[in-house]
Structures are given as structure tokens and as C-alpha cells.
Structure 1
């Protein structure tokens, strides 16, 4: 009974991870719809995450005598990592502002496909085009990207139309065209976010070889992200009132993004990844669409459109094909080199299907 309870902990943990990610997109959308400046919100969120992680370097430097030195070279690599992560963060915030949480969660399923492409380019992934696993990953990658274009370029009619849909009159035409162009722009920005996150994973893999202290990397990563978001906010935000925090949905969004979607979600996802492996973690990704649809309908009054449903289904199918190909490849690795050898090398594999860092 105790073993069964322990075995269910990764399941509960991943449900919380996916719910936290979908909830973050909904809360961000609510805050930005309420008039909160997205740039100052990113700065305050990163600053709070940095403050929470501040004790980590001091704790690890005292308790772990084997902790490698933090050289200027490693710091430079972490800064570049933070630059990529900040680009992903801003693409996500602006993309959600222009579109919806449903589109955002659908695009997150592109991460395995983009990571697979980047891993091939950086020679971190060996490909044998004659094997079924490599062919499956290629087909899944192409399907995911095609599905992303469908969900971006074709919005379609709402599946659950409102009781009194607005009539398309000439004076509304410009507004409707503007909304459609914003939706497309938001979709491409969310695709860019998925690409930057994939690039982030590749960079993490290289840095962890030289400096395998995860929480220290997270602190410096968030610290550099805070500096970058401060610089961008100072340049773009001209209104002094945009910097004032009030007890409203904006403050809730900052606290949620920093503590729940940031520190808690990343820590919980890392723990589940360690307990159950990346393939198990990846199986929960498509649930984000379900959570986003439900939360968006309850809190934002958003409807699920036909194009979003079709595109999301294509992305999810491509996602699972990539997962199947990856699991097949790992099975062959275990058969060819032995279980012990595979486990020894598994710590150096890219967290291909990890959540948004």
C-alpha cells in the first residue's frame, strides 16, 4: 500500500505542474486584460523569484565541499542562457496578450519537436534514418509544426457559439481583421517561445557538464533575467503609474508567476523527472490544453474554436509520435549497452520534454 502511494506521487506532482502552467497563462491574460503592464509584471516576477532563490548559492557553497568553482566562463554561459530564457519569457507574455491561453498551451507541445531538431544540429542526438524510432521522431516533428501552423493561421468558428453572436457589419470589419491579425501574431510569438525554450534546454545540457549545481544555476539565471527585464522595462515603460503595485489581479499574477509557476513548478517538475524519467513527464504535456480550456472558459469567458481544436489534436498526435520514437530509442540503448551503463549516461541526456524553465 505504501509503495503504491509512493508510485502515485509523480502522477499527482505532474498534474500539479501542468495545472500550474495553464493557470499561469490564464492569470497573466487576466492581468494584462485588466491593464497591467506586461513588462513591469515580468520584472517584478523575476525579481521575486531571484529573492526566493537567493539563499541557494550560500547554502550549497557551505554544505557541499565538492561544489565546483563558479568561474567567469560559467557565469558568461549562464548569462547567455538567461538571455535566451528572457526572449522566451517575453515572447510568451506578448503572445498570450495577443491570443489566448489555449493557443499558448498548444504551442508548448512544439518543444519536443524543436528540441529534436536543435539536438541534431548540435550533434547531441544521433539519428539513424533507417530505424523506426528516428523515422517516428521525424514524422512527429513535422506533424507538430504543421499543427502549429493550423492552430495559428486558422481560427475557425467557435465550437460553442454564444447565444447572440455579433453580426458582421462594415464598421466591425476593421476590428475583426485586427483581432485576426493579433491572433496570428500571437501564434507566431508563442511558436518563438517554444523554440527559445528548446534552445534553452540545449544550453542547459552544455552548462550542466561544467557546473552541475542546478539551484545555483537557477538563481544566477533568474538574477540575470531580472536585470534584463529591468532594462527593458525602463526603456519601454514611460508611465510612472505602471510601476505602482496595487492589491489587485496584477499583484496576484506576479505572486503566482514567481512562486507557483516559477519556483514551485520548476522544482516539482525536476523532482518528477528524477523519480519517473522524462518520457513519463512528457505524457502530461497535452493535459495543459484541457486545463487551459476549462480555466479560460471559467475566468476569461473564452470559447474553444474549431481551428484550435484541429491544430491542437495534430500537435498532440505529433507529440506522442516523438515520445514513442524517443522511448523506442531508449529501449534499444538499454538492450545494446546494458541497464547499468544506460543509467550512468541518462543524467547527461537532454531533458527533452521538460516543462517551461
Structure 2
């Protein structure tokens, strides 16, 4: 039961990311600048996390050296400043469903990078290794099918949308659609590097709350510098609607504070590939939300794609679990061999200094 918490946490993370994608899209439609939004959300998250990090990890938190600060700075540059600013700029040109669908590159690219850097074990001749490869390919194929293959159109869950927004297809031309997809794809590639780097930083700074606070601090600083070039006028910093306020509050408290912490905690125990494999679930979550909130109708391709994503995720997690069992068995065998070796040395080194002999007839001590 204890091992299930990692799976539950990552499902909650994808739920949070799915809700954030929809809210941010609504706010961008109302004129919120992406670079301003990134600054606001991380400043809010930093002030929320700082007291908890200071008091709860006072004994656990290691001292910050220049080397650690530099690693966190680079980590933040990839994972928040570049990734989020490029992602939200691309989201302004496309839809949340397509943006989430393009995240299917995250599992495969993270898996490949982790294998090349020897952070992930892959024995392609074993069943567990083949399951991880097949699971990754199924997740990618399912995500693509979910988004781009339509087929039979099912009746919608609701007759009228709960939320009315402008249609992205009508507002943006094909050229902008391609531009948005390219920007989002670039942001996901940077995100894969962030997952790999975070696994490295977690080893030298094993304090998830404090690390998340530092990430939010550097993200606020870096994004503020970017905003000096792209959002100089005061009007860009003014929030004109309740949707924009709700988006910033949700993204600050949930996406940056809570989700960053949960993801950092999960990576420190399960590794970057385990975390990345849950990304395709975001496509299903956003599509289901859009079906109820925006009255979008699902296609047969959506259902088949969702099925492939779930099967692929199960295959990968099965292979990952078998890897853990094999690693644990190997460690136990090493421990037994070491114990036998130590025991053998100790028995051979025993010297009897005062032997006692027993007469078999008289049974008296001689």
C-alpha cells in the first residue's frame, strides 16, 4: 500500500497540470501576458512555501554552497524560465488539448536521455526491459491517436458549454497554429532536460520543500529580468478579470507550490523517467474537462487513444516495478555473500589456546 502513494501523487500532479492548462488558456484569451503570469505565480508560490521550508526542514536542509546555488539556478532556467515562457507563448496560438498532446515527447525523450546518462537501467533482452520500451511507444502512439485521429463522433456529455470562450481555430490561422505547436514542442524538450537535472540536484540537496522554494525564487528573478524586455508598460501587469486572478492564484498555490514539491519528492525516490511517464494522462484529463466545460464531443480515436495510453502506462510501470524487485534481490544476494565471507574468515581465524580433551571411557577431564 505504501508504494501506491507515488502513483496517486503523479495522477494528482497531472490533474493539476490539466486544470492549469485550461485556466491559463482562458486568461491568455483575455489578454494576460505569459511573462507577467510566470512572474506572478512564482512570487506567490515562493512566499507560500518559504515559512514551511524554513521550519520543517531546519535540520534536514544542507547549507547552500556556490556549487549548489549554481545547479539550482541552471535547473530553474530550464524548468521554469525557458520552459514556461515558451510554453505559454505557444499556448496563445493553439488549444490546450493539442498542447497536452505534444507532451507525448516527454516520456520517450526523458527515457532516452536517462538511458544514455546511465540513470535508467535497460536490458532489452529481458521482459521488463521490453515492457518499458513497448509501454513508452504505446503512450506516444495513444497520445497522437487521441489528438489527430477523429473517426466516429460521439454525442457530447452536455448540450450547452458551461464556459464560453473564443474558438482557437477561428481566431488563429494555420501559420500561427504551426508556430504555437513548434514553441510548445520546444518547451517540452527543455522540460525533459529539467527532469534529468532535477534528479541530479535532489541528490546534492535532499530537502524538497527548500529546493522548491529556491526554484520559485530563482524563477521569479529570472522571469522578472525577461519581463523587463517584453512587458515594460504598466498595463501588462494589471489584472483585469476574475479569471486572471483565479489563474494566478491556482498556478501559484497548486501548480508551482504544491505540484513542484510533489514532483521533486517523487523524482528523488522514483527517478525522472517514472515521473515523465504520467504525462500522457494529461491529454485524457484535459479532453474530459473540455467535454463537460466547453461541450466538446469525443471521437472514436479519442477512446482508442486513451485505451492505448493506459495500457502503455501499465506496461512501463510493470517493467519499472520488476526492475526494482531485481535490484532489491541483487542487493540481498550481495549481503548474503558478504555475510558468508565474513563468517568464513572469522571461523578460520579462531585459534583454540586451551583445548579440552575428554576421555571416552572415564569421561573425566584430562
- TM superposition score category, shorter chain reference: 0.7 to 0.9
Q: In structure 2, what is the equivalent of residue 330 of structure 1?
A: 324
Measure, in 2, the Cα distance between the counterparts of 1:264 and 1:340: 39
1:222-241 equivalences in 2 (<5 Å): 222-241=216-235
2:197 to 184, 203, 206: 203
Measure, in 2, the Cα distance between the counterparts of 1:222 and 1:239: 24
1:276-315 equivalences in 2 (<5 Å): 286-304=280-298, 314-315=308-309
Task: Please tell me whether the aligned partners of residues 46 and 217 of structure 2 are also in contact (alpha carbons under 8 angstroms).
Answer: yes
Q: In structure 2, what is the equivalent of residue 101 of structure 1?
A: 96
* TM-score, length basis structure 2: 0.72
- The answer for unaligned runs of 5 or more in structure 1 is 163-174, 342-357
Task: Please tell me whether the aligned partners of residues 128 and 322 of structure 2 are also in contact (alpha carbons under 8 angstroms).
Answer: yes
Q: In structure 1, what is the equivalent of residue 35 of structure 2?
A: 39
SS in 2 for 1:337: helix
* TM-score, length basis structure 1: 0.73
- Structure 1 pair 317/270, CA: closer, same or farther in 2 (3 Å)? same
* Paired residue total: 324
Correspondence 1:259 to 2:253: yes
Correspondence 1:221 to 2:215: yes
Q: In structure 2, what is the equivalent of residue 136 of structure 1?
A: 131
CA-CA distance at 1:96 after TM superposition: 2.9
Measure, in 2, the Cα distance between the counterparts of 1:131 and 1:182: 45
- Structure 1 pair 227/280, CA: closer, same or farther in 2 (3 Å)? closer
CA-CA distance at 1:23 after TM superposition: 1.0
SS in 2 for 1:245: coil
- Structure 1 pair 289/150, CA: closer, same or farther in 2 (3 Å)? closer
Deviates more, 1:88-97 or 1:242-251: 88-97
- Structure 1 pair 34/185, CA: closer, same or farther in 2 (3 Å)? same
Measure, in 2, the Cα distance between the counterparts of 1:269 and 1:177: 35
Task: Please tell me whether the aligned partners of residues 110 and 272 of structure 2 are also in contact (alpha carbons under 8 angstroms).
Answer: no
CA-CA distance at 1:134 after TM superposition: 2.2
Q: In structure 2, what is the equivalent of residue 344 of structure 1?
A: none
Measure, in 1, the Cα distance between the counterparts of 2:193 and 2:266: 22
Question: Cα RMSD (Å) of the superposition?
Answer: 4.0
- Structure 1 pair 307/237, CA: closer, same or farther in 2 (3 Å)? farther
